[in-house]
């Protein structure tokens, strides 16, 4: 997944190497030589990840991190550290840095850390800001959401493990952060790890850390997520993706309240509150032998189930208006309202992708809107999965099926053309704006005659 990355380093050679490696991965890269220059670029342009040196002559990495946390919450900052500043980097992680890489670093390590940061940034864009219709930064007023809010208040002060379940895009990370924020651990770190984004052979090092020389590439000691979360909360997202071998080691860590670094000589005691989340049916996974029963019981002390958007459909207008405001600001647009017919279409949609899907739809329609409002025509691609067959039969009976097909194709061609122009021909960024894959966009460009050759 290609993104815009800001590199901050006072050494020209480091900027050159990092830029080359990240561009080879398909990312758009901007490089500056100082934290102050980085702040100026971030004020003017949108970036998805910041990679910054820790030590710089004027504005250093820690100062830049503090500023980013205040001005651009949710934007991941990866720090580059020399051997002598690892302790400072670890402290920065506790202050909100996403991760750090040690010099000398290799391309595989850089690629893995940046990929994880991009995944986190994508999830963070769904985070909602406080309003009169929200609690814990989560928009919602329906009875189901009020039940969730009440549960958060009840369980947050306790030290018990929590298991949050719900479909993808329902806001499980938001609830995990709310639990941490309302707990007595709120002043300590909230550390998260996506179990579905880590190769099996790296799980142990990610969770428990490693000692220098434990394996090839381990050039310095590195704490794992458990150590970084000391005194705070560790959030295991997509916990159902944990390999069986790691499930055993996680269970042992929770039971004994201590961990062993890879290559370590002594156990390290831990004081961590665990919150896990999954979109899978863990009970079924237990019955099928894919998830340990004893670990399931250990995690599922306090269960919280999040409703899909189709079961809290009355929250759609609040969410849609929120995203309308957000994307007006982000995209420099002035789309002031949703017409009633357009809102009705949003209310009638089944939302299989939940809030994340609604967010993507709103970003697309705001970006492509020609005027100051969104009407039904702007949502032409939004169709209920239950209706297509009957709708096509009605159109066929009226002799309008071919007309609608041709007209829809013209609208789609025009929108793709506008987005490509806005993104200066960058297919990767245009595909993201349109909410489709790069390959699908390339196929459509060929079909609509929007590419050379």
Range of the domain at 157: 143-306
C-alpha closest to that of 142 among 302, 359, 317, 303:
317
**Domain co-membership, 187 together with 271:** yes
- Name the domain boundary from 256, 276, 306: 306
Confidence at residue 338, expressed as pLDDT on a 0 to 100 scale: 86
Cα separation, 345 vs 343, whole angstroms:
5
**Domain co-membership, 109 together with 154:** no
**Domain co-membership, 83 together with 46:** yes
pTM: 0.61
- pLDDT grade, residue 433 (50/70/90)? confident
DSSP secondary structure letter of residue 138: E
Whether residue 245 is contained in a domain is answered as: yes
Cα separation, 373 vs 315, whole angstroms:
20
**Domain co-membership, 195 together with 114:** no
Whether residue 72 is contained in a domain is answered as: yes
Q: What is the pLDDT of residues 142-190, one digit of tens each?
A: 888 989 999 999 999 999 999 999 999 999 999 999 999 899 888 888 9
Q: Which tokens hold the place of 272?
A: 């961590």
Whether residue 341 is contained in a domain is answered as: no
Confidence at residue 391, expressed as pLDDT on a 0 to 100 scale: 45
**Domain co-membership, 103 together with 156:** no
Task: Count other Cβ atoms within 10 Å, centred on residue 284.
Answer: 11
Q: Which tokens hold the place of 432?
A: 């993201």
Tell me the average pLDDT of the chain.
Answer: 83
Q: How far is CA 398 from the centre of its chain?
A: 45
Q: Supply the CATH number for residue 57's domain.
A: 3.40.50.2300
Q: Supply the CATH number for residue 221's domain.
A: 3.40.50.300
Pair type for strands 138-139 and 134-135: antiparallel
Q: Which tokens hold the place of 292?
A: 């340990």
Whether residue 260 is contained in a domain is answered as: yes
Cα separation, 172 vs 177, whole angstroms:
9
**Domain co-membership, 277 together with 198:** yes
**Domain co-membership, 288 together with 405:** no
Whether residue 348 is contained in a domain is answered as: no
| Residues 28, 426 contacting (CB under 8 angstroms) | yes
> What is the 3-class SS of 267-331, one letter each residue?
CEECCCEEEEEECCCHHHHHHCCCCCHHHHHHHCCEEEECCCHHHCHHHHHHHHHHHHHHHHHHH
Q: What is the pLDDT of residues 26-72, one digit of tens each?
A: 888 999 988 999 998 888 788 889 999 888 888 888 889 888 887 88
Mean pLDDT over residues 390-399, rounded?
51
| Residues 97, 63 contacting (CB under 8 angstroms) | no
Q: What total number of domains does the chain contain?
A: 3
Confidence at residue 276, expressed as pLDDT on a 0 to 100 scale: 97
Q: Supply the CATH number for residue 426's domain.
A: 1.10.10.60
Q: What is the pLDDT of residues 257-284, one digit of tens each?
A: 999 999 888 899 999 999 999 999 999 9
**Domain co-membership, 149 together with 236:** yes
Q: Which tokens hold the place of 114?
A: 């940046």
Cα separation, 23 vs 153, whole angstroms:
45
| Residues 228, 269 contacting (CB under 8 angstroms) | no
- Name the domain boundary from 306, 324, 359: 306
CA atoms within 13 A on the CB side of 50: 34
Confidence at residue 387, expressed as pLDDT on a 0 to 100 scale: 41
| Residues 161, 294 contacting (CB under 8 angstroms) | no
Residues 169-187 as b/e (b if ≥16 CB within 10 A, e otherwise) read bbbbbbbbbbbbebbebee
Whether residue 299 is contained in a domain is answered as: yes
Task: Count other Cβ atoms within 10 Å, centred on residue 270.
Answer: 20
Cα separation, 199 vs 242, whole angstroms:
10
Cα separation, 180 vs 424, whole angstroms:
42
- Name the domain boundary from 290, 306, 322: 306
DSSP secondary structure letter of residue 83: G
Task: Count other Cβ atoms within 10 Å, centred on residue 255.
Answer: 11
Q: What are phi and psi of 220, to 5 degrees?
A: -155, 160
Whether residue 442 is contained in a domain is answered as: yes
């Amino acid at each position: 997944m290609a993104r815009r990355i800001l590199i901050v380093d006072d050494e020209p050679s480091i900027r050159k190497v990092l830029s080359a490696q990240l561009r080879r991965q398909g990312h758009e890269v901007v490089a500056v030589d100082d934290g102050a220059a980085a702040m100026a670029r971030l004020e003017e342009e949108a970036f998805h990840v910041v990679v910054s040196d820790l030590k710089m002559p004027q504005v250093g990495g820690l100062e830049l991190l503090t500023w980013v946390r205040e001005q651009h919450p949710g934007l991941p900052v990866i720090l580059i550290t020399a051997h002598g500043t690892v302790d400072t980097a670890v402290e920065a992680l506790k202050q909100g840095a996403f991760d750090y890489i040690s010099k000398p670093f290799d391309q595989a390590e850089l690629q893995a850390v940046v990929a994880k940061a991009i995944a986190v940034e994508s999830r963070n864009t769904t985070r909602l800001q406080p309003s009169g219709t929200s609690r814990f930064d989560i928009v919602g007023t329906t009875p189901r959401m009020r039940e969730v809010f009440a549960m958060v208040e009840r369980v947050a002060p306790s030290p018990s493990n929590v298991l949050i379940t719900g479909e993808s895009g329902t806001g499980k990370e938001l609830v995990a952060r709310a639990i941490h924020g309302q707990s007595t651990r709120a002043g300590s770190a909230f550390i998260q790890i996506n179990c579905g984004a880590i190769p099996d052979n790296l799980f142990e090092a990610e969770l428990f850390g490693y000692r220098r020389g434990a394996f090839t590439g381990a050039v310095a000691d590195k704490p794992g997520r458990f150590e970084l979360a000391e005194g705070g909360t560790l959030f295991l997202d997509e916990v159902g993706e944990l390999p069986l071998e790691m499930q055993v080691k996680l269970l042992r860590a929770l039971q004994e309240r201590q961990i062993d670094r890879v290559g370590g000589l002594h156990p390290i005691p831990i004081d961590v509150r665990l919150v896990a989340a999954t979109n899978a049916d863990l009970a079924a996974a237990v019955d099928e032998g894919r998830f340990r029963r004893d670990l399931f019981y250990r995690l599922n002390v306090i269960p919280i189930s999040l409703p899909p958007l189709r079961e809290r459909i009355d929250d759609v207008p609040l969410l849609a208006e929120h995203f309308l405001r957000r994307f007006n600001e982000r995209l420099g647009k002035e789309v002031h309202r949703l017409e009633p017919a357009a809102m009705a279409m949003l209310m009638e949609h089944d939302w299989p992708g939940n809030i994340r899907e609604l967010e993507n739809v709103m970003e697309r329609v705001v970006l492509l809107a020609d005027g100051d409002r969104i009407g039904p025509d702007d949502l032409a691609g939004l169709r209920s999965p239950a209706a297509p067959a009957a709708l096509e039969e009605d159109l066929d009976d009226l002799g309008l099926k071919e007309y609608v097909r041709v007209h829809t194709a013209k609208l789609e061609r025009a929108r793709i053309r506008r987005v490509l122009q806005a993104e200066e021909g960058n297919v990767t960024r245009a595909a993201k704006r349109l909410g489709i894959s790069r390959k699908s966009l390339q196929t459509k460009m060929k079909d609509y005659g929007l590419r050379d050759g």
